[in-house]
């Protein structure tokens, strides 16, 4: 999964990125605004993979990963046009974590308007919607020109219809996230990767000693349909530099039960609606991510497109069952080893082997 950290300059994106990836990128308050993204890959801690690996003793054990992209601040000032190449790179992420500055800093207030996270969010959302609107309108103009030259296919008509709905939504100041398109329309405009259609995680970056002070703001955000959380970026960055035992002591003091890595993993899986399924064997025990509700063919496609194309059946058993009984042989005897067809909806914790023929 690719998750983009975005927000206004100096909101604490790199600080949080450092905490997540245990790196030491520059977070100097007076430093130049970065021009390139920092990229880091974080393993998704999953005890089930650890235990499956103990059972199967494979040559390789592969956890799922999240790729974090820490982008330079965008939309700092009204009418600010960020570099288009960077914007399209940002939009290729599966979801955004928007970092809002909640920590007090008068200097930053004076440069970037306001320390009010809700105001920051509004400005980011407005800029994203404006960006989407410009792209949609430009495309509509091109489609019109095409009509004059006789280019009118069913796909273009779907796109045209979708883009009109999209423009209407944006002109009403509503993000595309809340617009329901038909499957055909959705497909026709998928390639645009509209900003305001992406799943959003809101992180209010604040001081570790007033996390609760944000409850009311969080409630407001939840009421408006956002998934929003507080994060003490600087504190987390310092924690990430300690050894495990020391870090756990500090976390216990703060009543924190999970590391920032694990929290962000859960939040982003929840946000996108991801589940995990596993493949096991003597060569490799591996975790895969799948959209909740997806079927066995989609799962096969995650592993390799050949497996989806030549799909015959999925051999399937449950993580809990293999842990309870200890061997696939016993699962077969007990009828817990199933053969599933294309339409089978894969569940979190399924262990799958694809039979295929290409
Ligand atoms: N007090 C406080 N300062 C922070 C926090 N997070 C970041 N900062 C400071 O804010 C400035 C900008 O942080 P940085 O992570 O570089 O922001 P970015 O531009 O969004 O990547 C740096 O001086 C950080 O030390 C925080 O949680 N509390
Ligand atoms: Mg930065």
> Tell me: the pLDDT tens digits for 163-199?
999 999 999 999 999 999 999 999 999 999 999 999 9
287 within a domain of the structure (yes/no): no
246 within a domain of the structure (yes/no): no
Q: Would you state the pLDDT for residue 114? A: 64
The reply to whether ligand 1 has any atom less than 6 angstroms from the CB of 102 is no
The reply to whether ligand 1 has any atom less than 6 angstroms from the CB of 10 is yes
The two beta strands, 38-43 and 65-70, are antiparallel
Ligand 2 centroid – CA 76 distance (Å): 13
Mean pLDDT of 142-167: 95
In 214-352, which residue ranges form alpha helices assigned H by DSSP?
215-223, 233-240, 244-253, 260-272, 296-303, 305-309, 319-325, 328-333
**pLDDT-derived band at 81, boundaries 50, 70, 90:** low
The reply to whether ligand 1 has any atom less than 6 angstroms from the CB of 11 is yes
The reply to whether ligand 1 has any atom less than 6 angstroms from the CB of 73 is yes
Q: Which residue has the higher pLDDT, 213 or 82?
A: 213
107 within a domain of the structure (yes/no): no
Atom of ligand 1 nearest to the CA of 26: 16
Atom of ligand 1 nearest to the CA of 8: 20
Q: Would you state the pLDDT for residue 75? A: 80
Looking only at Cα atoms, what is the longest distance across the chain?
70
Mean pLDDT of 259-288: 96
Q: Would you state the pLDDT for residue 110? A: 80
At 305-351, the pLDDT tens digits run 999 999 999 999 999 999 999 999 999 999 999 999 999 999 999 99
252 within a domain of the structure (yes/no): no
Q: Would you state the pLDDT for residue 78? A: 61
Ligand 2 centroid – CA 297 distance (Å): 40
Atom of ligand 1 nearest to the CA of 235: 27
253 within a domain of the structure (yes/no): no
Specify burial of residue 255 (Cβ count, 10 A radius: 0-12, 13-18, 19+).
Answer: exposed
> Of 28, 8, 26, whose CA–CA distance to 17 is shortest?
26
Mean pLDDT of 18-38: 88
> Scanning the structure block, which residue is given the tokens 């990128």?
25
Atom of ligand 1 nearest to the CA of 105: 1
| Residue with CA nearest ligand 1 atom 6 | 12
Mean pLDDT of 243-265: 91
The reply to whether ligand 1 has any atom less than 6 angstroms from the CB of 9 is yes
pLDDT at 156 > cutoff 90: yes
Mean pLDDT of 118-134: 93
18 within a domain of the structure (yes/no): no
338 within a domain of the structure (yes/no): yes
Mean pLDDT of 232-236: 95
Ligand 1 pocket, mutate which of 27, 31, 40 (most atoms under 8 A from CB): 27
- How many domains would you assign to the chain? 1
Tokens of residue 202, six digits: 């809101």
The reply to whether ligand 1 has any atom less than 6 angstroms from the CB of 205 is yes
Q: Would you state the pLDDT for residue 73? A: 87
Q: Would you state the pLDDT for residue 185? A: 94
255-263's contacts with Cβ under 8 Å and 24+ in sequence apart are: 260/16, 260/19, 260/20, 260/231, 260/236, 261/20, 261/42, 261/45, 262/45, 263/229
Atom of ligand 1 nearest to the CA of 70: 21
pLDDT at 113 > cutoff 70: no
Structural domain containing residue 339:
293-356
304 within a domain of the structure (yes/no): yes
Q: Would you state the pLDDT for residue 209? A: 86
The reply to whether ligand 1 has any atom less than 6 angstroms from the CB of 232 is yes
Report the range of poorest mean pLDDT among 86-95, 103-112, 127-136.
103-112
> Of 67, 65, 66, 50, whose CA–CA distance to 280 is shortest?
50
The reply to whether ligand 1 has any atom less than 6 angstroms from the CB of 103 is yes
Q: Would you state the pLDDT for residue 225? A: 93
CA distance 292 to 13: 29
pTM: 0.93
CATH code at 300?
3.10.20.30
**Residue-averaged pLDDT of the chain:** 93
């Amino acid at each position: 999964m690719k998750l983009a950290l975005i927000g206004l300059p100096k909101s604490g994106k790199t600080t949080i990125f450092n905490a997540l990836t245990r790196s030491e990128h520059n977070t100097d308050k007076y430093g130049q605004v970065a021009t390139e993204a920092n990229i880091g890959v974080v393993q998704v801690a999953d005890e089930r993979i650890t235990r499956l690996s103990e059972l199967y003793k494979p040559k390789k054990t592969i956890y799922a990963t999240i790729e974090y992209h820490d982008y330079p601040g965008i939309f700092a000032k009204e009418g600010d046009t960020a570099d288009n190449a960077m914007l399209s790179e940002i939009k290729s992420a599966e979801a955004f974590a928007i970092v809002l500055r909640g920590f007090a800093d008068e200097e930053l207030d004076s440069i970037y308007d306001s320390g009010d996270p809700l105001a920051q969010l509004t400005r980011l959302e407005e800029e994203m919607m404006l960006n989407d609107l410009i792209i949609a309108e430009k495309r509509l103009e091109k489609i019109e020109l095409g009509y004059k030259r006789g280019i009118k296919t069913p796909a273009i008509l779907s796109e045209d219809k979708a883009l009109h709905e999209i423009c209407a939504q944006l002109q009403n100041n509503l993000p595309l996230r809340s617009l329901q398109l038909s499957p055909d329309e959705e497909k026709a405009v998928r390639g645009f990767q509209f900003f305001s259609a992406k799943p959003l995680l809101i992180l209010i970056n604040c001081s570790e000693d007033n996390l609760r002070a944000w409850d009311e703001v969080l409630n407001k955000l939840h009421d408006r349909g956002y998934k929003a959380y507080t994060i003490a970026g600087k504190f987390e960055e310092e924690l990430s530099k300690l050894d495990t035992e020391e870090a756990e002591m500090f976390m216990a003091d703060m009543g924190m039960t999970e590391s920032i890595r694990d929290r962000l993993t859960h939040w982003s899986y929840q946000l996108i609606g991801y589940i995990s399924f596993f493949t096991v064997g003597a060569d490799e025990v591996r975790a895969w991510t799948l959209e909740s509700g997806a079927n066995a063919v989609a799962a096969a496609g995650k592993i390799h497109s050949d497996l989806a194309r030549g799909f015959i059946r999925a051999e399937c058993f449950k993580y809990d069952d293999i842990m309870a009984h200890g061997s696939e042989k016993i699962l077969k005897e007990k009828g817990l080893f199933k053969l599933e067809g294309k339409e089978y909806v894969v569940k979190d914790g399924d262990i799958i082997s694809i039979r295929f023929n290409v």
